Chain A
Amino acid sequence: QKEVEQDPGPLSVPEGAIVSLNCTYSNSAFQYFMWYRQYSRKGPELLMYTYSSGNKEDGRFTAQVDKSSKYISLFIRDSQPSDSATYLCAMSAMDSNYQLIWGAGTKLIIKP
């Protein structure tokens, strides 16, 4: 079993829809949770960075962490074709020197 599980998709939704992207994990020591967006032929771009449980909002993006369920989510409201990309979750813990443990990435396609 991988430490971090993420459905690779592709996930295809119509423009304007609310998108929900998710990761589950097995290591209860993870404390820091990140979402990166990666366009084709580009590097990962940090979208959201959260510590421990709770919600964080930034514009159209909301990150949720539920440590009791070992489940994190990224919601995208009013999705746009420009949101089409691969979304990677990553997490880290003090007991592994804060090295990022990555999900596989979900390919998201927003249809105009």
Chain B
Amino acid sequence: DTEVTQTPKHLVMGMTNKKSLKCEQHMGHRAMYWYKQKAKKPPELMFVYSYEKLSINESVPSRFSPECPNSSLLNLHLHALQPEDSALYLCASSQKTGAEAQHFGDGTRLSIL
């Protein structure tokens, strides 16, 4: 079991739906990340939060909206997604941003109908 917990494990949604992905860590880490991973590809960075503030947004479409309610929680709000957004969405955390090892959750497998 990983120390970064993501829910739900699987999500199927239509293109007009609104849903949220959740991530929780209790390691006292102050940096949290969202990645997108397509099949047989490495993870692609989407967002970075440092001390609960958004520090990096890798030009992600506005249909993805991150939120960091506190130092342990990270959400990714989804709205009006496209079929090409189907992927594994991974959350990671590290002690802080910089040269710190990132620890990943097992992801949410998202399918857009």
CB distance from B111 to the nearest CB of A (A): 13
Q: Are A94 and B105 in contact (CB under 8 A)?
A: no
Of all chain A residues, which has the CB nearest B44? A102
Q: How far is the CA of A41 from the CA of B2 in the complex (A)?
A: 13
* Per-residue A-contact encoding for B18-33, CB less than 8 Å = 1, 0 else: 0000000000000000
Q: How far is the CA of A105 from the CA of B38 in the complex (A)?
A: 12
Q: Are A97 and B2 in contact (CB under 8 A)?
A: no
Residue from A49, A97, A105 within 8 A of B42 (CB atoms)? A105
Q: Are A44 and B45 in contact (CB under 8 A)?
A: no
Q: Are B43 and A99 in contact (CB under 8 A)?
A: no
Tally B residues with Cβ within 8 Å of A.
23
**Interface of chain B, main secondary structure:** loop
Instruction: Given the known inter-chain contacts A41-B109, A100-B45, A104-B42, please indicate yes or no for A49 contacting B90, CB distance below 8 A.
Output: no
Q: Are A46 and B42 in contact (CB under 8 A)?
A: no
Q: Are A43 and B40 in contact (CB under 8 A)?
A: no
Residue B103 at the chain A interface, CB threshold 8 Å: yes
Tally A residues with Cβ within 8 Å of B.
25
Q: Are A100 and B102 in contact (CB under 8 A)?
A: yes
Of all chain A residues, which has the CB nearest B97? A98
Of all chain B residues, which has the CB nearest A8? B40
Chain A to chain B contacts (Cβ below 8 Å), 18 pairs: A31-B99, A36-B104, A41-B106, A43-B104, A43-B106, A45-B2, A45-B104, A46-B101, A46-B103, A46-B104, A94-B99, A98-B98, A99-B56, A100-B43, A102-B42, A102-B43, A104-B41, A105-B42
